[in-house]
Structures are given as structure tokens and as C-alpha cells.
Amino acid sequence: DTAVSQTPKYLVTQMGNDKSIKCEQNLGHDTMYWYKQDSKKFLKIMFSYNNKELIINETVPNRFSPKSPDKAHLNLHINSLELGDSAVYFCASRHTGVAYNEQFFGPGTRLTVL
Amino acid sequence: GQQVMQIPQYQHVQEGEDFTTYCNSSTTLSNIQWYKQRPGGHPVFLIQLVKSGEVKKQKRLTFQFGEAKKNSSLHITATQTTDVGTYFCAGPRGGSYKLIFGSGTRLLVRP
């Protein structure tokens, strides 16, 4: 059973299009994240939700809009895609209030904007 | 703002050689975590260190947390090809929700 799943795994699209990435976790965690990993492998946090409430919103263009319909799901919608949006996007989750703060990552979505 | 830097950026070793990556934070950390990302894969949690001066071992991997809780290291003894990947340290910023990841050290192992 996959703990954190993302769809799609690959996404190739034209500049200016709008696309969505979906994430689901079956770990019962209360906090979920979106990260962007660029070609140099830097992992940058974008957003975080705790119990469906937005708690972290980094300096991300407002073309990116996260949505958490429930604790187990966190989606990312991107409007007017640009070349610089090409990256691997990782979803992650964790359970707060426990001794170990480890985050569980999804397999990633490789977004290529042409 | 808080920064977490890692050195070296890349390390290419012969199988059987040792490997060390160093992590330095601009601020004191309440804890530090280490993750491994295999090529084409996703980051996977390895360990968390909490106490000043803490040392933990996982088989051939030894993790240390500095006395001042601003630096950490990961040492791999006798590397194997299965150790290939990028190793990240990460520390919480502000409250516990946000992790700042280091720049990562990419390890390549020649068989």
C-alpha cells in the first residue's frame, strides 16, 4: 500500500496552460506539504496544510493555488504555466505532536513546461 | 533568514572508501533530520537527532549532532553502490511545522 501517492507522475504541457497535481496520504497524518525540487536538487517548501488549514505559504507566485478538501488530500493547481515551473513537485505528510517529526514523501510529479 | 548549508556538493568515491557530508545551520536547531534520495526517487527519512552532541549509528552510517546544535554530519564507512544518492539534512524553522532542507550532497560510488 502506497503511503503518499501523487498523480500524475509525469506532466508535459505547453506554456500558458493550467494544470493540477493531486496528492493523497493514507497514513492518518494531519499535516501535508508541497515541495518544489529544481534541476540542482534544491528542495524548497511551497505550502503546508494542517487539518485542512493553510499554515505555510512561502513566497510562491499566486499562479500556484493549493487546496485541501480533507486531511488526507492536498492538491496543487497551477495557472498560466511558465518555463521556470519545470521541476519535480513532491507532496509530503507528517503527524504533528509526536517525538519524531519525519516527513513521508510521495514519489513526485515531474512537470515539464515547453 | 535561516539557512542550512551542506558540503561537499558532490562526492565521488571508490567502493569501499568512506564518505562524510557536513551540515551547517545559521541558527541553533531544536533537532536535525537526515534524508536520502536515490536517483529518480523521493527523499526518505533516515534519522532524527535531538540532543546536543548526540551520536547515532545505523549499520555503516554514523550521524552526529554538534554540541552547539548548529551543525551535523553523516559518515558512511566502506561505501557500497547501494549508498548512491543525495543526502539531505533538514532542520525546523520557527515552529515545528516547517523544515529547511540543506543543499544536499550527491554521492556517487564507483564499483
B4 closest CA partner among B68, B82, B88, B60: B88
**Domains plus CATH for chain B?**
4-51+65-110 (2.60.40.10)
Return the pLDDT at A1: 64
Residue B107 CA to residue B10 CA, distance in Å, equals 6
Q: Looking at beta carbons, which residues of chain A come within 8 Å of B96?
A: 96, 101
| Number of separate domains in chain A | 1
Instruction: Give me chain A's average pLDDT, please.
Output: 92
Residue A53, pLDDT above cutoff 70: yes
pLDDT range class, residue A56, cuts 50, 70, 90: confident
A2-6, A104-108, B56-60, B94-98: which range is least confident on average? B94-98
Domain coverage including residue A14: 4-113
> Is the pLDDT assigned to residue A107 strictly greater than 80?
yes
- pLDDT 10s digits, B20-44: 999 999 999 999 999 999 999 999 9
Among A29, A32, A30, A31, residue whose Cα is nearest residue A21? A32
Q: Which residues of B touch A (CB under 8 A)?
A: 31, 33, 37, 41-45, 48, 86, 88, 92, 96-101, 103-104, 106
Question: Which pLDDT score is estimated for A58?
Answer: 85
- B75: number of Cβ within 10 Å: 16
pLDDT tens figures, A4-20:
999 999 999 999 999 99
Which of residues B57 and B92 earns the better pLDDT score?
B57
| Banded model confidence at residue A100, pLDDT cuts 50, 70, 90 | low
Residue type, B105: T
Cα separation of A93 and A70, whole Å? 13
Instruction: Give A42 to chain B, closest Cα distance, Å.
Output: 6
Separation of alpha carbons A16 and A1, rounded Å: 36
Residue A22's domain is classified under what CATH number? 2.60.40.10
Give how far A104 is from chain B: nearest CA, Å. 7
User: Cβ of A10 under 8 Å from any chain B Cβ?
Assistant: no
Which carries the bigger pLDDT value, residue A77 or residue B95?
A: A77
Three cell numbers at B5?
548549508
Smallest CA-to-CA distance from A5 within A65, A67, A91 is with A91
DSSP per-residue codes, A31-63? EEEEEEE-TT--EEEEEEEETTEEEEE-S--TT
CA B66 – CA B58 distance, rounded (Å): 18
pLDDT of residue A68: 94
pLDDT, greater one: B3 or B75:
B75
Helix (H) or strand (E) holding B19: strand B19-25
